């Protein structure tokens, strides 16, 4: 079976709302139940018909669900797990969408009863937008969804979740928890930190006015600001919970930056040309793998017809 009878979405932001639209589009859930901490978010979800039911508590939302998806910031995962644990159905699968896995496992797993399968996950998909109105059905199409199955997981439950995620349009892969956190420190966490830093530099560099930064942003600054516009609570939790891997990669980045500084200072054009040639090849590889496009807007525009 590819879908689930009842799916509970805990947290109703971009990922959860996109999952809801994709589940409806592909017939992957008999019933979609949602919960969000904020009354305003719950009201919006009801207004746009995001879920079949929207509950005031997470405990109520998970009752009878055979799939529960934790779509809350990493720092809130433990408290949510403790709240829902007594109400989980026998044989239910619990997964999450957090950008960090070791911290999520440590926060969630101790609270869960032995009669459920906790299969941590992470969709490598997103935009700079958030909230229940931000989701769209095609968000996961040809994007990777990483699973980090744990010892003792029922193989049938893992396969069923894989099939479900494939049904959403995602490419599914598995890796261990530690490997995930290191890989994501390279491809996501550190780039976001650098983006936040570059925007901060522009903010503090008073010789360049804010009007000039905004007016001429298409020269490169625009692309930094896209990922620096992401949810601050989520990214605060990511950096605090994946501290070791992020600091490791950030240290390596600093070393690379020193090499570039020296090359520029010494007018070492051969070094710079070789360096940029090698790094340009990686960017081309990303496009060839179908994970981005060479289009001027990077392919991130969402067709109005695909919006909820």
Is residue 308's pLDDT more than 50?
Answer: no
Look up the CATH architecture of domain 4-175: 3-Layer(aba) Sandwich (3.40)
Q: What is the pLDDT of residue 254?
A: 86
User: Beta strands 93-96 and 29-35: pairing type?
Assistant: unpaired
> What average pLDDT does range 101-112 have in this prediction?
96
pLDDT digits (tens, 9 = 90+) for 31-87: 999 999 999 999 999 999 999 999 999 999 999 999 999 999 988 999 999 999 999
Q: Are 15 and 72 in contact (CB under 8 A)?
A: no
Is residue 303's pLDDT more than 50?
Answer: no
Q: Does domain 179-266 have CATH number 1.10.4080.10?
A: no
pLDDT digits (tens, 9 = 90+) for 215-252: 666 667 777 667 667 777 777 888 888 888 888 888 88
Asked if the domains 4-175 and 179-266 are classified in one and the same CATH topology, the answer is no
What is the distance between the alpha carbons of residues 172 and 282, in angstroms, rounded to a whole number?
A: 22
Domain positions in the chain are 4-175, 179-266
pLDDT digits (tens, 9 = 90+) for 162-179: 999 999 999 999 999 999
Q: How far from the centroid of its chain's Cα atoms is residue 180's Cα?
A: 13
> What average pLDDT does range 137-164 have in this prediction?
96
What is the distance between the alpha carbons of residues 99 and 184, in angstroms, rounded to a whole number?
A: 8
> What average pLDDT does range 197-204 have in this prediction?
72
Name every residue whose Cβ is closer than 8 Å to that of residue 74 and which is 6 or more positions away in sequence: 98, 99, 100, 103, 104, 107, 234, 237, 238, 241
Q: What is the pLDDT of residue 235?
A: 76
Q: What is the pLDDT of residue 305?
A: 39
Write down the pTM of the prediction.
0.76
Q: What is the pLDDT of residue 208?
A: 64
Is residue 267's pLDDT more than 60?
Answer: yes
Is residue 6's pLDDT more than 90?
Answer: yes
Is residue 202's pLDDT more than 80?
Answer: no
Q: What is the pLDDT of residue 306?
A: 41
Q: Are 35 and 55 in contact (CB under 8 A)?
A: yes
| Percent of the chain as helix, strand, coil, to the nearest 5 | 55, 15, 35
> What average pLDDT does range 20-30 have in this prediction?
97
């Amino acid at each position: 079976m590819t879908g689930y009878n009842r799916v509970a979405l805990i947290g109703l932001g971009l990922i959860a709302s996109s999952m809801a639209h994709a589940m409806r589009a592909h017939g992957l859930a008999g019933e979609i139940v949602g919960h969000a901490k904020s009354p305003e978010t719950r009201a919006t979800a009801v207004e746009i018909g995001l879920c079949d039911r929207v509950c005031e508590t997470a405990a109520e939302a998970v009752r009878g669900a055979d799939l529960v998806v934790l779509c809350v910031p990493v720092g809130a995962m433990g408290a949510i797990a403790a709240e829902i644990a007594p109400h989980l159905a026998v044989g239910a699968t619990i997964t999450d969408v957090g950008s960090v896995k070791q911290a999520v496992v440590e926060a969630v797993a101790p609270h869960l009863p032995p009669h459920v399968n906790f299969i941590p996950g992470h969709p490598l998909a997103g935009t700079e937008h958030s909230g229940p109105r931000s989701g769209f059905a095609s968000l996961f199409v040809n994007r990777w969804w990483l699973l980090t199955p744990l010892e003792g997981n029922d193989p049938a439950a893992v396969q069923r979740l894989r099939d479900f995620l494939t049904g959403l349009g995602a490419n599914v892969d598995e890796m261990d928890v530690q490997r995930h956190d290191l890989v994501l420190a390279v491809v996501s966490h550190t780039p976001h930190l650098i983006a936040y830093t570059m925007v901060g530099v522009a903010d503090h560099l008073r010789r360049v006015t804010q009007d000039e930064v905004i007016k001429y942003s298409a020269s490169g600054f625009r692309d930094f600001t896209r990922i620096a516009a992401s949810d601050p609570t989520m990214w605060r939790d990511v950096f605090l919970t994946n501290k070791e891997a992020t600091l490791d990669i950030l240290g390596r980045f600093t070393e690379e930056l020193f090499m570039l500084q020296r090359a520029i200072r010494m007018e070492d054009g051969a070094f710079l040309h070789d360096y940029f040639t090698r790094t340009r090849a990686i960017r081309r590889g990303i496009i060839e793998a179908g994970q981005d496009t060479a289009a001027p807007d990077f392919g991130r525009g969402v067709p109005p017809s695909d919006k909820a």
